Structure 1
């Protein structure tokens, strides 16, 4: 279930399924930085992989209103 903080309803299931698309690349880049005492000249390959992953994420387009719940709410508004 959820918890109430004042009058705000928080659904913990919503935050548990958040995807982390470039986490692997970011961890490898940060590990490389920590090994090389924050010298990013030695971590060029990991930096390029992280940049490529982040660029690929910004180019993805989401379908607006694609969920089944959105469509059901839209249809029920028309019936009233």
Structure 2
């Protein structure tokens, strides 16, 4: 169930801190919700900004060729 010894592997969790899109919009929306006692009708502007940011990010980060670990596995198979 684990990885084989000597296999190439990159921990994707280390790279998750590099790029966090929409973090500011999400924090603004959550702060607004906390100030308005979870009434999202008062936070329409922040909600729209967050939705717009999330819609813009939906297709941008998707890579058709797969993850880095998939590519490393392919390289190691060809090396044998």
Question: Number of paired residues?
Answer: 70
Higher strand share: 1
> More relative contact order in 1 or in 2 (CA 8 Å, sep 6+)?
2
Does residue 40 of structure 2 align to residue 8 of structure 1?
no
* Gap runs ≥5 in structure 1: 1-6
For the aligned residue pairs, the C-alpha RMSD in angstroms reads: 3.2
**Larger Rg belongs to:** 1
* Gap runs ≥5 in structure 2: 4-8
Write out the 4+ residue segments of structure 1 that deviate beyond 6 Å after TM superposition. Answer: none
Q: So what's the TM-score if we normalise by structure 1?
A: 0.64
Q: So what's the TM-score if we normalise by structure 2?
A: 0.64
